[in-house]
Amino acid sequence: MNAQPGSRMRLLAPAALIVFAVLLLAVVTGSVVGGSGPSGGGDAEQAGAEREAGSERPRARGRATYKVRAGDTLGSIAERTGRTPEQLQELNPGLDAQTLQPGQKLKLRE
């Protein structure tokens, strides 16, 4: 059985495509999951996020108000400011957690 060069290429092309797809999937899922290493930057990004989150808490606890940012929820604001969602509701009567608007100011203490 003598295979011709054209038939080898027909088999090689799909195999190369499958290998490429698997490698691409590995790279994409590694960067989405936050893999470590130079491309993922996992440890450096995580340390920066922890440092940033840690630096916000002490400043937020001393403030009398909090300015709502895009994407904030009542739970995330409570966590960031060291309050509970219930405390924020008590301090801000009429507050609707479903309609928080960026720029809106919430009282953090009496």
Q: Could you give the angle at the alpha carbon of 66 between the alpha carbons of 63 and 67, nearest 5°? A: 140
> What domains lie within the chain, and their CATH numbers?
48-110 (3.10.350.10)
pTM as predicted: 0.45
Neighbours of 83 (CB within 10 A): 21
Per residue in 71-84, pLDDT (tens digit) is: 999 999 999 999 99
Distances in Å between the Cα of 77 and the Cα atoms of 10, 54, 59, 80 are 58, 14, 13, 5
Per residue in 34-44, pLDDT (tens digit) is: 544 444 444 44
